[in-house]
A and B are shown apart, each in its own frame.
Chain A
Amino acid sequence: MTFNIIVLAKQVPDTRNVGKDAMKADGTVNRAALPAIFNPEDLNALEQALGIKDQYPGSKITVLTMGPVRAAEILREGLFRGADDGVLLTDRAFAGADTLATSYALSMAIRKIGSFDIILAGRQAIDGDTAQVGPQVAEKLGIPQITYTEEIQKIDLQKVRVKRRLENGVEIVECPLPALITVNNSARACRPRNAKLLQKYKHARTITERQAESIDYIDLYSSRPYLNLNEWSVVDVDADPKLCGLSGSPTKVKKIENVVFQAKESKRLTESDEEIDELMKELIRNHTIG
């Protein structure tokens, strides 16, 4: 028994550790100051895929991402951790896509990949936090979805059983395959890179990446076909350009505001006994506590 698994992944700016230089003087986001990373919950999804492959050797994991050429970095990251193949969906026509246009593009790429048993994705990406692309891809493909997954407990060719994390509890759900599953960060963390795989795949490149580099390695890519990462455009996946990118996005950004908080005049204290004692007295006196 083997499974064809597709993992949807996104390269995102690391918004979790926004330093002082992350905002420019004019108040806009300085993307260059934020490292681009493999979206954390997509790594949790990849780990669930790797778990299936551990259990059923011969299963194939394809990582699919949409983004600029540099997003191929996360395809290699996926290969280093145990994925078998990578697809980069990249085209100017995809730019400016909202979640609906993104899910359309991804669903067309998945149709081109062809056969799959299960699609795994992170619950949400840390740059937008919308959690919409997974369910929208499932709807476009006409397959069931299970969101907020913490663990794939059991899988056979007909169905999958997963544990979901709800606000106040858990739910065990059974679902026929094919299905799309989104994975929470409460699921087990992704295994690290594997040294052998790092050696094997460190030269894996998409065609555009190869063209931008020296051509010394040209033989390498014909003798080792697994180093050729797939790079697909709107035409390659047979997508309707009108449904992609900005034109395929029903939501429009009207404006962007910077967040400014009203500063207060604050009382500064040290941690001395006297000052803490005085603070507690004051809070009790004005009925804030006690």
Chain B
Amino acid sequence: MDNLFVYLEIEDGVVADVSLELLTKGRSLANQLGCKLEAVAIGDNLGTVGKQVFPYGADVLHIFDDKRLSPYTTLPHASILVKLFKEEKPQICLLGATVIGRDLGPRVSSALGSGLTADCTSLEIGDHEDVKTKKVYKNLLYQIRPAFGGNIVAWIVNPDHRPQMATVREGVMKKEIYSPIYAGEIVEHNVDEYVSDEDFVVSIIDRHVEKSKVNIKNASIIVSGGYGVGSKENFQLLYELADVLGAEVGASRAAVDAGFAEHERQIGQTGVTVHPKLYIACGISGQIQHIAGMQDSSIIISINNDPNAPINNIADYVIIGDVERVIPKMIKYYKKNTK
């Protein structure tokens, strides 16, 4: 009872980074609360999951191993979590803010009547006093997230309902081994006690999952474009510069919405959070929702013909000029100076 649970996302027996990041965060929150950290693995071919998650500090690993549970579908995974949570009564449940986590989390929260906060960028423990009743709640989970297109940050609490549920995007929390020899306990569950035949009415006819070719999360240099780049054709310039520098290409939400770049390149609160050593922002005005996803870059260069673009305030170098003229010059002088 009252422990902290993390739902593990698993593909081909491998636990996703986002889940390991949540275990790392969960471990530090559990230490603060003095409770156990428990992980839930639902799927097929889960033999090595224990080895993968115990070094991150999981005290208990719940295993639900059944061929029918992989690939993920909503209903059986939701049924398992709902029943498990009714039995175990966790105080907190964390899920990745991924396609799976954002499909599963709300279904489970609705069934349990508990609150869920999506896409948290920070999680903390603290007390809360209800403004009206003056009742004081000890050690609640502060679920901190951007709202309103990133223009404000909201601190959300769930005073009266358990578990306090939150999703977090990949890359927002740090993944860190807690102890390489940490020993947890494995609890194998009988899947049939948790699911019914009706949970399997949705069938997956076909599925193409590819390892993403885009790896902006771990890139050390990112050339990123905004709406100001102007067109998909102009984005080619960014690829050319990225190619020369050994960089990845990123994009703002506005550029993605305009069809200049693929969704998986989106950087910001509704995309990926990055912290490269060099971030070159091309024609990006710098809406808060974008800046929040890249402000931790070591060096920021902004190329913009608007001297007052908000992003210039956080840039180390501001080049006032046209992306179409500046990038070819950067390529030219990079080549000249590295010869």
Give the interface of A toward B (CB within 8 A): 13, 15-16, 18, 22-23, 29, 98-100, 103, 126-136, 138-140, 144-148, 161, 164, 166-176, 185-186, 249-259, 261-264, 266-271, 273, 275-277, 279-281, 283-284, 288-290
Contact present for B152 and A16 (CB under 8 Å): no
Cross-interface CB contact of A173 among B115, B204, B270, B320, cutoff 8 Å: B204
For A15, list chain B residues within 8 Å (CB). 148-151
Docked-complex contact B116 and A132, CB < 8 angstroms: yes
* Residue contact A18 to B115, C-beta cutoff 8 Å: no
Say yes or no: B317 contacts A258, CB within 8 Å: no
* Chain A residue at minimal CB-CB distance from B310: A261
Partner of B106, one of A127, A132, A271, A279: A132
CA distance A261 to B317 in the complex (A): 16
Distance of A96 from chain B, by nearest CB (Å): 13
Digitize B105-120: 1 where CB-to-A-CB distance is under 8 Å, 0 elsewhere. 1110111011111110
Compute how far the CA of A145 lies from the CA of B154 in the bound complex, rounded to whole angstroms. Answer: 28
Pair A253/B156 contact, Cβ less than 8 Å: yes
In the complex, residue of chain B having the shortest beta-carbon distance to the beta carbon of A98: B115
Q: Which residues of A contact B114 (CB under 8 A)?
A: 250
Tell me how far the C-beta of A245 lies from the nearest C-beta in chain B, rounded to whole angstroms: 14
* Contact A147:B102 (CB < 8 A) given known A130-B118, A168-B209, A277-B337: yes
Chosen A-B contacts, 11 in total, with CB atoms closer than 8 Å, are A13-B148, A16-B253, A103-B106, A132-B109, A132-B116, A135-B103, A169-B207, A186-B263, A252-B159, A273-B333, A288-B277
Q: Chain A interface mostly helix, strand, loop or mixed? A: mixed
List A contacts of B334 (CB < 8 A): 280, 284, 289-290
Is A277 a contact of B110 with CB atoms below 8 Å? Answer: no
Q: Contact at B148–A127, with CB atoms within 8 Å?
A: yes
Contact at B317–A266, with CB atoms within 8 Å?
A: yes
Contacts of B202 in A (CB 8 A): 144, 146, 173-176
Inter-chain contacts of A258 with B (CB < 8 A): 151-153
Whether A132 contacts B118 by the Cβ 8 Å rule is: yes
**Contact residues in B for A268 (Cβ distance below 8 Å):** 307, 318, 320
Find chain A residues with CB under 8 A from B157 CB. 251-252, 254
Task: For B313, list chain A residues within 8 Å (CB).
Answer: 261, 263-264, 266
- Contact A127–B317 (Cβ < 8 Å): no
Partner of A171, one of B206, B287, B299, B333: B206
Asked whether, in the complex, the Cβ of B319 is within 8 Å of the Cβ of A271, the reply is yes
CA distance A289 to B330 in the complex (A): 12
Instruction: Determine if A259 and B151 form an interchain contact, defined as CB atoms under 8 angstroms apart.
Output: yes
B314→A259 contact, CB < 8 A: no
B109 to chain A, nearest CB (A): 7
Given the interface pairs A259-B150, A270-B320, A277-B336, the reply to whether A16 lies near B204 with Cβ below 8 Å is: no
| B residues 197-220 in Cβ contact with A at 8 Å | 201-212
Complex CA gap A251/B151 in Å reads 20
Q: Which residues of A contact B325 (CB under 8 A)?
A: 271
Contact of A284 among B152, B320, B337 (CB under 8 A): B337
List residues of chain A with CB within 8 A of the CB of B118: 128-132
Chain B residues with CB under 8 A of A281: 333, 337
Contacts of A126 in B (CB 8 A): 149
Instruction: Chain A residues near B117: list those with CB within 8 A.
Output: 251
Q: Which of B30-38, B174-182, B288-296 contacts A (4 or more CB under 8 A)?
A: B288-296
Tell me if B316 is interfacial: C-beta within 8 Å of chain A.
yes
With a CB–CB cut-off of 8 A, which chain B residues contact A130? Answer: 106, 118-119
Given A251-B116, A252-B157, A276-B319: A144 in contact with B75 (beta carbons within 8 A): yes
**Residue pair A139, B205 in contact (C-beta under 8 Å):** no
Q: How far is the CA of A255 from the CA of B255 in the complex (A)?
A: 31
What's the least CB distance linking A85 to chain B, in Å?
A: 26
Closest to B142 in A: A254
- Asked if A255 and B155 sit within 8 Å, CB to CB, the answer is yes
Alpha-carbon separation in the docked complex, A90 to B117 (Å): 24
Q: Is the CB of A253 within 8 A of B205?
A: no
The answer to whether A262 touches B106, judged by C-beta atoms less than 8 angstroms apart, is no
A184 to chain B, nearest CB (A): 9
- CA gap between A36 and B9 in the complex, in Å: 37
In the bound assembly, the distance between CA atoms of A145 and B115 in angstroms comes to 19
Please state if B312 and A266 are interface contacts (CB–CB under 8 Å): yes
The reply to whether B326 and A166 contact each other, CB–CB distance below 8 Å, is no
| Across-interface contacts of B210 in A (CB, < 8 A) | 168-169
Question: Are A250 and B113 touching (Cβ within 8 A)?
Answer: yes
- Output the nearest chain B residue to A252 by Cβ-Cβ distance: B157
| Neighbour of A136 across the interface among B106, B148, B295, B319, CB < 8 A | B106
Is B160 interfacial (CB-CB < 8 Å)? yes
A127 near B315 with CB under 8 A, answer no
